Amino acid sequence: MSYQIAVLSGDGIGPEVMAEARKVLNAVETRFGLDIQYTEFDVGGIAIDNHGCPLPDATLKGCEAADTILFGSVGGPKWENLPPNDQPERGALLPLRGHFELFCNLRPAKLHDGLEHMSPLRSDISARGFDVLCVRELTGGIYFGKPKGRQGEGDDEEAFDTMRYSRREISRIARIAFEAARGRKNKVTSVDKANVLACSVLWRQVVEEVAKDFPDVTLEHIYIDNATMQLLRRPDEFDVMLCSNLFGDILSDEIAMLTGSMGLLSSASMNSTGFGLFEPAGGSAPDIAGQGIANPVAQILSAALMLRHSLKQEEAASAIERAVTKALASGYLTSELLAADKRSEAKSTAQMGDFIAQAI
């Protein structure tokens, strides 16, 4: 099997963790007899520096020609004061999501055995563990709804955004949540604000309809304000959380922080043809870039998600995930996951990549 991957490493720690993901992918190629071709393109801040915009035409064309996108991370202090539309994150990610209609965003987050102390939750709560998959709608809602803009003058000047969802948009993401629940704990919690938003009333209705096709999956509805609260008290009672674009943005970050180990979390953004963008959940971490201490696991797990969801290489994906679990279980950890007095045992970015590649 032969594949074309567009590699968009981006800024900060992006390039260094991407190098480790490539190591691991090389190991997987050999072991499973795959043929993967990589083409690198600039994105984010480095693309602003080199080409004047965060998502140059050549990058977009390169992604179009590829089977899928492996993404690093973008942004940093250098580009922070640009107008919002020109900034690396929003100027690269939103157009990519829109252009390829990557409506389905999967953000898995679990508390790893032995890393409970990293969670900001009270020890009796984190001791129960949790394993949540956030399924976020990514090309609709208030992110892309029209009209959006400004009008009027002086004190009357106003800005407006439109939250908009069609039955079609809601049911396609809902189906994905229910299907995902079947491979997990058979529970979907749909997050909305149906006591205030017309979009949420339709959302709840369509989710109920889709649920009829999944009688084996339990469905619950929860208001977004209550969801942010209950995740703090009983995260172990959630399985799949189904969210609109804005609520998924907020909740998936809350859940990521609850694991306390952002360097381990990856995410998949896909369209209906299987084309996707796979990226770590954390940011470009400019403060630790170039020191060889960044955790490459999130980037490596993004490659696993890419193999599973875009390239349909389930065995190769699982092999990577097993190798990562083995590394963590052997106490093979980068410094941010170690208590201050254990930091001397920390592994470097490259050591992590080597260990995981060898374990394949």
Q: Are 90 and 81 a contacting pair, CB within 8 Å?
A: no
Q: Is 11 a catalytic residue?
A: no
Question: Which position among 225, 287, 315, 345 is part of the footprint of ligand IPM (CB under 6 A)?
Answer: 225
Q: Is 225 a catalytic residue?
A: yes
107 is in an annotated binding site: yes
Please state whether 159 falls in left (phi above 0), alpha (psi between -120 and 50) or beta. Answer: beta
Q: Is 342 a catalytic residue?
A: no
Q: Are 72 and 5 a contacting pair, CB within 8 Å?
A: no
Minimum CB separation from its own copies for residue 33, in Å?
41
Minimum CB separation from ligand IPM for residue 196, in Å?
5
Place of tokens 């490259």: 350
> Which of the listed partners (ligand IPM, its own copies, none) does 5 bind, with a CB threshold of 5 to 8 Å by partner kind?
none
Q: Is 213 a catalytic residue?
A: no
Q: Are 96 and 63 a contacting pair, CB within 8 Å?
A: yes
Minimum CB separation from its own copies for residue 53, in Å?
16
Cα–Cα distance for residue pair 229/242, rounded to 1 Å: 16
Cα–Cα distance for residue pair 184/92, rounded to 1 Å: 33
Binding site for its own copies (CB under 8 A): 84, 87, 89-90, 94, 119-123, 125-126, 142-143, 145, 148-150, 152, 154-168, 171, 193-199, 201-203, 224-226, 228-229, 232-233, 246, 249-251, 253-254, 256-258
Number of chain residues interacting with ligand IPM (CB under 6 A): 8
* Beta bridge pairs of residue 243: 136
| Piece in contact with ligand IPM (CB under 6 A), picked from 60-68, 90-98, 175-183, 236-244 | 90-98
Name which of residues 91 to 110 contact ligand IPM (CB under 6 A): 93-94
| Piece in contact with ligand IPM (CB under 6 A), picked from 87-95, 127-135, 211-219, 293-301 | 87-95
Token digits of residue 71:
């993404």
Q: Which residues lie closer than 8 Å to 360 by C-beta, 6 or more apart?
A: 24, 27, 28, 31, 319, 320, 323
249 is in an annotated binding site: yes
Q: Is 253 a catalytic residue?
A: yes
Q: Which residues lie closer than 8 Å to 14 by C-beta, 6 or more apart?
A: 44, 72, 73, 74, 284
Considering 225, 312, 326, 342, which one is annotated as catalytic? 225
286 is in an annotated binding site: yes
Question: Which position among 11, 42, 169, 249 is part of the footprint of ligand IPM (CB under 6 A)?
Answer: 249
Place of tokens 């970015």: 349
- Positive or negative torsion for Cα 162, 167, 168, 174: positive
Q: Footprint of ligand IPM on this chain (CB under 6 A)?
A: 89-90, 93-94, 195-196, 225, 249
Instruction: Kindly list the catalytic residues.
Output: 143, 193, 225, 249, 253
